[in-house]
Amino acid sequence: MIVWGITGNNHDASLAVMEWKVQGLTDHYALRLKWAGMSKDFSGVAGDPTLCPKLMAEVRANPKWAYPAKIYFYEKPLKKTMRQLIAGQGWKWKENNIKKFLAKSGVHNVPIEYIDHHHSHAAYGYYTSGFKNAAVIVLDSIGEFETFTIWHGRGTKLEKKYTQRYPHSIGLFYSAMTQRCGFKANAEEYKLEQLAKKGNWRKHYRLFMEEIIDTRMPFKTRINLHRGCNWWRPELNTEEDIADLAATTQHIFEQVLMCASSWIQMNIKTSNIVLVGGCALNKTAVSKLNAVWDDIWVPTNPGDPGSCIGAVCAKYQKHIDFHGEMWYNKDNGKTK
């Protein structure tokens, strides 16, 4: 049976073709990734939120993949809509209608099952890691109402152990400060990470802790950063100031990650750790964990695109054979 996992309708659309089948004359089942790709690699549009025609043509070129038995979507639209309403963004149910989103790409009358956003992230990380026992940190800006979760994977089971809820979000904090430093939020956080190396994190640390950050574990902010913080401390506008703001932001992010690491050591029995979510792309912070953990796994495309695979894995609770080259790109072409 062929099923699809899909992300999109907001940013970074992706699609995974996966096969669920019986292994021989037994009651054992296997899950296999056949193909995965991101729209931006076909359309050339950064963060393309649509299932672009070229991506869909690539999938439908294989008649065995063209008609899935079911689609698994990486988040729950109703929960997302309710959070947007509470956040003051209005009632966005029409914008979050996934059947209409899929219909624009010619996908009709296929059953859809919706998976919690953070569950999709965690499943992508754990079920591709090869670990049979691992802690999973999901560091994300926001998914439905959750912003930061910790999971324990044992065998085929994945259990949530800790959750942080909106509006307190280390991801929103990092993106807001990315914007404050003159970069594009949700796109150029890597530039903030690099700029941080030139700054002095101590210079404005006290200001951050008095005016923005409340606690680090659980992570809480004194203000809602969902709409950014360009208004904050406008007098800090020199190149040196911006570099120092970047350095403090990076330092606080690293502190939060290390606090999460310590919490895991006290509450979960494992020597392996998995990181997923957009914040897992912060290599500087992740490298700080090398001295603490025996094995660390950060899968290819750990942000929302990877959840096209994760949404399916979350449903079937099966490890899959996986390596980064299984994602489509211009060099490797189709997944075998």
Residues 248-294 pLDDT 10s: 999 999 999 999 999 999 999 999 999 999 899 999 999 999 989 98
Sign of the CA dihedral 165, 16, 188, 44? negative
Average pLDDT over residues 164-174: 95
Q: Is the pLDDT of residue 33 over 90?
A: yes
* Torsion angle, alpha carbons of 35, 278, 304, 118, to 10: 120
* Bridging pattern class, strands 2-7 and 14-22: antiparallel
Q: Could you tell me which of 249, 280, 255 has the C-alpha nearest to residue 140?
A: 280
Phi, psi of 105 (to 5 degrees): -105, 15
Q: Is residue 253 exposed (0-12), middle (13-18) or buried (19+ Cβ within 10 Å)?
A: buried
Question: How does residue 332 score in pLDDT terms, banded at 50, 70 and 90?
Answer: low
Average pLDDT over residues 30-36: 95
Q: Is the pLDDT of residue 35 over 90?
A: yes
- Could you tell me the CA-to-CA distances from 165 to 81, 118, 145, 148, 257 in Å, in that order? 15, 11, 6, 7, 16
Q: Is the pLDDT of residue 26 over 90?
A: no
Phi, psi of 121 (to 5 degrees): -60, -50
Fold exhibited by the domain 132-298: Nucleotidyltransferase; domain 5 (3.30.420)
User: Residue 323's pLDDT is what?
Assistant: 84
User: Residue 21's pLDDT is what?
Assistant: 85
HEC string of 165-219? ECCCCHHHHHHHHHHHCCCCCCCCHHHHHHHHHHCCCCCCHHHHHHHCEEEECCE
DSSP state for residue 9 in the 8-state scheme: S
Question: How does residue 335 score in pLDDT terms, banded at 50, 70 and 90?
Answer: very low
Beta strands in 49-190 (DSSP E): 70-73, 112-114, 133-143, 146-154, 157-165
Q: Is the pLDDT of residue 151 over 50?
A: yes
% of the chain exceeding 70 in pLDDT: 96
Report pLDDT digits (tens) over 235-244. Answer: 999 999 999 9
User: Residue 22's pLDDT is what?
Assistant: 74
pTM to 2 decimal places: 0.94
> Each residue of 272-291: b (16+ CB within 10 Å) or e?
bbbbbbbbbbbeebbeebee
User: Residue 325's pLDDT is what?
Assistant: 83
Q: Could you tell me which of 60, 248, 49, 260 has the C-alpha nearest to residue 148?
A: 260
What is the chain's alpha carbon radius of gyration, rounded to the nearest angstrom?
Answer: 20
Average pLDDT over residues 88-106: 96
Phi, psi of 229 (to 5 degrees): -150, 45
Strand, helix or coil at 322? Answer: coil
Q: Is the pLDDT of residue 168 over 90?
A: yes
Question: How does residue 336 score in pLDDT terms, banded at 50, 70 and 90?
Answer: very low
Report pLDDT digits (tens) over 307-326. Answer: 999 999 999 999 999 987 88
The vertex-221 CA angle with 220 and 225, nearest 5°, equals: 130
User: Residue 324's pLDDT is what?
Assistant: 78
Report pLDDT digits (tens) over 98-128. Answer: 999 999 999 999 999 999 999 999 999 999 9
Domain span(s) for CATH 3.30.420.40 in the chain? 2-118+304-326, 132-298
Question: How does residue 27 score in pLDDT terms, banded at 50, 70 and 90?
Answer: low
User: Residue 217's pLDDT is what?
Assistant: 87
Mean per-residue pLDDT of the chain: 94
Element (H, E) at 17: strand 14-22
**CA 38 to CA 20: how far, in whole Å?**
22
Domain spanning 2-118+304-326: CATH 3.40.50.970: no
Helices and strands (H and E) in the chain: how many = 11, 12
Phi, psi of 195 (to 5 degrees): -65, -30
**CA 146 to CA 274: how far, in whole Å?**
18
